Amino acid sequence: MSDLVSKNLNMLFGDTVHALKDVSFTLKKGELLTVLGPSGCGKTTLLNIIAGFLNPTSGTISLDEKEINGPGVERGMVFQQGALFEWLTVSQNVDFGLRMRKENPQKSKKLVDEWLEIVGLQGFGDTPTYQLSGGMQQRVALARCLINNPDLILMDEPLGALDALTREKMQSLVLKIWKETGKTIVLITHSVEEALLLGERLFVMAPRPGRIHKEYTLPFASMGLQKDLRSIKNNKKFVTTREEILTMIWDMEEEIMGKEN
C-alpha cells in the first residue's frame, strides 16, 4: 500500500492568502492524477507540499504511511522549464541523483544509457544541455527524475512551454512511461485537453480559497495507451467533458473578476 493520503491540508500565506483549504484525497499506487484549475487556485502549492518544499499550515500528508517532512528521493519532480544544470552534459544531468548518492559509476552509466534510450535521446549523452531544444530538455528532465526510481512522480506543468507537436509526442511518452513503470504520477496542467487525455483521475481546483472543486474518473488515459491520441480527442464523451470543465473554469474566472470589480 503505497498510497498518497492527504488529510485536511490547509496552507496560509500570511494572514490573508488562503492558498489551500481542507484538501483531502487519497491516491492509490499506480494512479495518474491530473490537477487542473485557473491560476491562483493552489495547484503548485499543493505540489510543493507533496514534494516537501513547503510545510502545510495544518493537516497531514503521507506517502506509504510515512508523513512527508522535507524533500526526498522517493518523490521525484519534473519542472516546467526543465530546471536542468547547464554546466553539465546530458548524461551528467541524468545521473546527477546517482552521483549524489555515490552509486557505482559503471552501474550508473549503464542505467543512464538505458534511460536515454527510453526517452529517445540515445547518442546525446555528451551534448551540453544548453544546446538542446525545449522538448529534448524535458526528456532529459524526465530521465533525470526517473533514474532515481521514485515511488511518486510530480510534474509541474512539464509540457507547458512546448509547441503543439512536441507536446503531443511528450504526452504519449508520459503515458508510455506510466504504463511501463506503473508509477504514481501527479501532473499539473493548464490545458484541459491534456488533463483529460493523461488523467486517470482529474481534480478541478477552485481558487480563493484553493480547494478541490470537482473530481472525475476518466477512461481516456487507458484508451491512449492503445489508440492514437488525436482520435480520442474526437470521442463524444471527451468533447462533452471538455466543454463541461471549460464552462466550470470560465465561471470561476468570472466570479473572481466580479469580486475584484
Q: Which residues form the interface with another protein (CB under 8 A)?
A: 51-53, 71-73, 75-77, 79-81, 83, 85-87, 96-97, 100-101, 128-131, 141, 144-145, 148, 154
Least distance CB 189 / another protein (angstroms): 17
Alpha-carbon distance of 54 to 71, in angstroms, equals 9
Place of cell 544548453: 130
Q: How many CB atoms lie within 10 A of CB 253?
A: 13
Least distance CB 105 / another protein (angstroms): 16
Nearer to another protein, 103 or 255 (CB): 103
Residues 6+ positions from 75 with CB-CB distance below 8 Å: 50, 51, 52, 63, 68, 150, 151, 152, 153, 154
Least distance CB 38 / another protein (angstroms): 22
Least distance CB 4 / another protein (angstroms): 15
Q: How many CB atoms lie within 10 A of CB 180?
A: 9
Nearer to another protein, 129 or 241 (CB): 129
Least distance CB 89 / another protein (angstroms): 11
Nearer to another protein, 73 or 225 (CB): 73
Alpha-carbon distance of 25 to 48, in angstroms, equals 16
Least distance CB 175 / another protein (angstroms): 22
Nearer to another protein, 78 or 197 (CB): 78
Alpha-carbon distance of 238 to 165, in angstroms, equals 20
Nearer to another protein, 85 or 250 (CB): 85
Least distance CB 159 / another protein (angstroms): 16
Phi, psi (5° rounding) for residue 124? -100, 10
Using CA atoms in the order 198, 208, 51, 13, what is the torsion angle rounded to 10 degrees?
A: 160
Query: E strands of the chain, at which residues?
Result: 4-13, 17-27, 32-36, 58-63, 66-67, 75-78, 152-156, 184-189, 201-206, 211-217
The answer to whether the CB of 5 falls within 8 A of the CB of 57 is: no
Nearer to another protein, 103 or 113 (CB): 103
Nearer to another protein, 52 or 125 (CB): 52
